[in-house]
Amino acid sequence: MNTVIFDLDGTISDPAEGITRSINHALSKLGYKTHSEEKLLKYIGPHLNITFSELAGIKDKAILSQAIDLYRERYIPIGYKENHLYSGIVDVLSDLVSSGSSLCIATTKRKDIASKVLEFLKVDQYFTQVHGCDLHRSKSDLLRDILSDPTLGERPMVMIGDRDTDFLAASEVNMPSIAVRWGYGKEEEFEMATDTVEKPADLPEAIMKNAQQINAPDA
């Protein structure tokens, strides 16, 4: 039995439409230039404060906070529904749970928003725990939380994601990671992962090969 930790955006589901439209909603409301969906795809994964800082050059914390609030003004009622599961991912989740694995989510999203997405996509029942960074924690912090769990932390573990933030976080806690090619990462990001898969059906074998027992961090 393994503990399998999934990123959400770009790994479980494709959120591009909702995220990019919500970014442009915030930029427009603040009087900044909006951008094409193609240009905004690189911001699927990073924290929102990084997104708006890079896109609009916003450094002032109050304005950054306003931008994030405006993003969520659209994303929470509308944008999270502009989201669809990747083909084959439900079969993988079901098979992993049936084989005894415990599944968790570790995302840069706020926990309540991530839970809302999972419920909308009708996959929330597959996940034992949902962990969200919001703006004040790193993804490696979430992995440490899971490692410290008295049950989940005793099992071989692996992190699955599509961006460098996923693989770097796993590396920080000495956890193996699997890169998925159907998300929004680039080849240079995949090189940071322990292994790479081309399609969801490849995940169970890669998990069996890569999941490792990891020493829980000191309290």
Query: Is 7 a residue of the active site?
Result: yes
Return the amino acid letter for 167: F
- The SS3 of residue 211 is coil
Query: Do the Cβ atoms of 143 and 114 come closer than 8 Å?
Result: no
Element (H, E) at 103: strand 102-107
Strand partners for 212: 157
Place of tokens 């944008």: 79
Q: How far is CA 99 from the centre of its chain?
A: 23
Per-residue burial over 175-209, b if 16 or more Cβ lie within 10 Å, else e, is bbbbbbebbbbeeebbebbbbbbeebebbbebbee
Query: Residue 63 to residues 36, 40, 70, 185: CA-CA distances in angstroms?
Result: 22, 20, 10, 28
Which position among 7, 9, 162, 164 bears the catalytic label?
7
DSSP code of residue 218: P
Report, as residue numbers or ranges, the catalytic residues. 7
